[in-house]
A and B are shown apart, each in its own frame.
Chain A
Amino acid sequence: MNTDHIVSSFDNALNKNESLILEMGGQVEQQLALATRALQKEDAKLSKKVVTNHNRISAIEAEINASAIQLLALRHPVAVDLRNVVMSLRIAGHLERIGQYTKNMARRTHTITKADAFTGSIDTLARMSDLVQSMIRSALDAYNNRDVEIAEDVRGEDESVDQMHNTLFRELLTYMMEDPRNISGSMHLLFIAKNIERMGDHTAEIAQEVIFMVTGNWPTDKRAKGDKTSRMIFSPEDLDIRPDTKDQG
C-alpha cells in the first residue's frame, strides 16, 4: 500500500517501527558474520565482542515492542496496517532468537578456543552460516520491499540448511567415534551447528510472516524440511571407523 495516511503522524509511527525491524535485522546478520569469523579464525576476543554486542539487539527488540503496543493503543490499525504491526512483533521475536543463538555460538567458540579443544568441519559450518546470513538478508529485503516472491525463495532455502546440518551431524559423530579426545570440542561444534539450523528455521518463519503481512493469507503449502538428525543413529561400522586396537592388550 503506497498511499499515505491522512494523519501523517500515523505514517511516521509505522515507518519508525519498520526502520527498527530493519536495523535489528541488520545487526543480527552482522553478529552472525562476526561469530562465524571468530570461529574460523579461532578469535576469542572477537567471540567475546559478539556476546556483548547482543545487548544492542535486545534493546532494539524492546523498542519495537513498545512502539508496536503504542501503535495498537493509539492508532487502532486495521487491515494491512494491523498485519504490519502484529507481524513486526513476531518478526522482532524471531530476530531476537536468532541473536540469542548467535550469542551462544560465540560463547562456545570462546570456550573451545581458550581450551584449544578439537575443531573440525569448520568450513561446512561457515558455509551453513553464510547461507543463513544470505537468507536473513533476503527476508529483510522481502520485508522492506513487500516482496512475496523473495519471501517464498527464503522459505525454500531452509531445506539446504537442514541438509548441511545432517552432514555435520554425521561428520562430528565420526570425529567423536574416532577419538574420545575429540568429543568435548565436537559437542560444542554440534551445538553450534544446531544453533545455525534453528536460525534457518526462524528466518523461514520471518519469510512466512512477510507473506502474511503482504497478502493477508498464510502460505498453505508445507515448508520443505530436511533436518533428519532426530532420526539418525550410527554404529562405527556405518561410519566406516576401525577402532584403533594398537594400545589394547
Chain B
Amino acid sequence: MVMGSIMKIQKETAEPANLSLASSGILSAQNVDVFYGDQQAINNVSFEIPENQITALIGPSGCGKSTILRCFNRMNDTIDICKVTGDIRFAGQNIYDPKVDVVALRARIGMVFQKANPFPKSIFENVAYGPRIHGLASSKDHLEEIVISSLKRAGLYKEVADRLQESGTGLSGGQQQRLCIARAIAVDPQVILMDEPCSSLDPIATAIIEELMESMKQNYTIVIVTHSMQQAARISQKTAFFHLGDLVEFGDTEAIFTNPIQTRTQNYISGRIG
C-alpha cells in the first residue's frame, strides 16, 4: 500500500523511504508524556507498533491506554487541556509537526469507537461520506465501487446489499460497528485504531468483528484498546500492558499471557489487581 502524504506542503527534499527506516514499526512513540492540565496521564512511554499486525493495548481503567491510542491520530487535539510531548511518528513522519494536515492524517489513521456512531444518514451515505469529502472518487460509479468494496471488506455487504438506502442507525449494534469500520476503510487508511469496539456487543457480534479484524490485518495495521484480556489474547500478535500511565510491558501476546516478565503484568492479567 502506497502511503499518501499527510503533510500540508510536500517537502521536496524529504525522503519518506529513508525516514521510515528510522523505526521498525509503522507507528512509533518515543518518550511520550501526556498531561491533562496538571495531571500526568502518560509517563515517558516508548514503543513501536508493527505493520500489518494487531496490537492490543490493555490495562485497568484510567491506565492511559485510550489516551495513548488517541495520540496516534491526534484525537487529543480536541481536548483543550491535553498536552502531548515526545516524538510520535507515522511511517517515519512526526505527526505533531506543525506542517501535518490533521484531516489527511486521520484519513491515513482511521478510528473506530466504543459506541458505534453512524451518521443519521443512509448506509450508503455513511460509507460514501469520507471518500466524497477527501475527493477520492472520480465518478458516481467509482464512489459506488468504493462503498461496496468497503462494505465487503467490513463483512457487512451481504447483510445490507438490498437496503443501502435505509438508515444506518436502523442496523443492529454489531452491524452498526461494522458500518463504522466500513466508513473508516472507505478512505483507504493504513492504520485503524479501535477503542473498545466490542464492549457493547454480544458474543456472536464480537466474534464476527474479531474474525473481520483477523482478515483485515493483511491490508491494515490495527491497534485495539480492549478491556477483555481474553479478546487481546485471541486476536493480537503484540500486547502492551499499561498501568498508572506507565507502559509496564510490551511484547509478543503469547509470551505476555504465558510467561510475562513483569510482576505487575502477571498480577493484572491473572486477575490479582484491578
**Contact between B271 and A80 (Cβ–Cβ < 8 Å)?**
no
B212 contacts chain A at the CB level, 8 A cutoff? no
Name the prevailing secondary structure of the A interface residues.
loop
Closest chain-A Cβ to B59's Cβ sits at a distance in Å of 15
Closest chain-A Cβ to B255's Cβ sits at a distance in Å of 9
B117 contacts chain A at the CB level, 8 A cutoff? no
Say which residue of B230, B259, B260, B272 sits within 8 Å of A5 (CB atoms): B272
In the assembled complex, the Cα of A81 lies from the Cα of B260 at a distance in Å of: 12
**Contact between B267 and A78 (Cβ–Cβ < 8 Å)?**
no
B78 contacts chain A at the CB level, 8 A cutoff? no
Say which residue of A10, A216, A217 sits within 8 Å of B271 (CB atoms): A10
B274 contacts chain A at the CB level, 8 A cutoff? yes
**Contact between B272 and A1 (Cβ–Cβ < 8 Å)?**
yes
**Contact between B271 and A79 (Cβ–Cβ < 8 Å)?**
no
Say which residue of A6, A7, A216 sits within 8 Å of B258 (CB atoms): A216
Which chain A residue has the least Cβ–Cβ distance from B274? Answer: A6
Q: Which residues of A contact B258 (CB under 8 A)?
A: 78-79, 82-83, 216
B123 contacts chain A at the CB level, 8 A cutoff? no
Interface magnitude class on chain A: 10 to 19
Q: Which residues of A contact B271 (CB under 8 A)?
A: 5-7, 10
Q: Mark B262-274, 1 if CB is under 8 A from A, else 0.
A: 0101110111111
In the assembled complex, the Cα of A4 lies from the Cα of B271 at a distance in Å of: 9
Q: Which residues of A contact B35 (CB under 8 A)?
A: none
**A-B CB proximity, top 4 nearest:** A216-B259, A3-B272, A78-B257, A81-B270
**Contact between B270 and A77 (Cβ–Cβ < 8 Å)?**
yes
Q: Which residues of A contact B266 (CB under 8 A)?
A: 1, 79-80
Listed residue (A5, A80, A82) with the most chain B CB atoms within 10 angstroms of its CB? A80
In the assembled complex, the Cα of A4 lies from the Cα of B267 at a distance in Å of: 9
**Contact between A217 and B259 (Cβ–Cβ < 8 Å)?**
yes
Which chain B residue has the least Cβ–Cβ distance from A212? Answer: B259
Which chain B residue has the least Cβ–Cβ distance from A5? Answer: B271
Which chain A residue has the least Cβ–Cβ distance from B272? Answer: A3
**Contact between A79 and B274 (Cβ–Cβ < 8 Å)?**
no
Do A6 and B272 contact each other (CB < 8 Å), given the known contacts A1-B266, A80-B266, A83-B258? Answer: yes
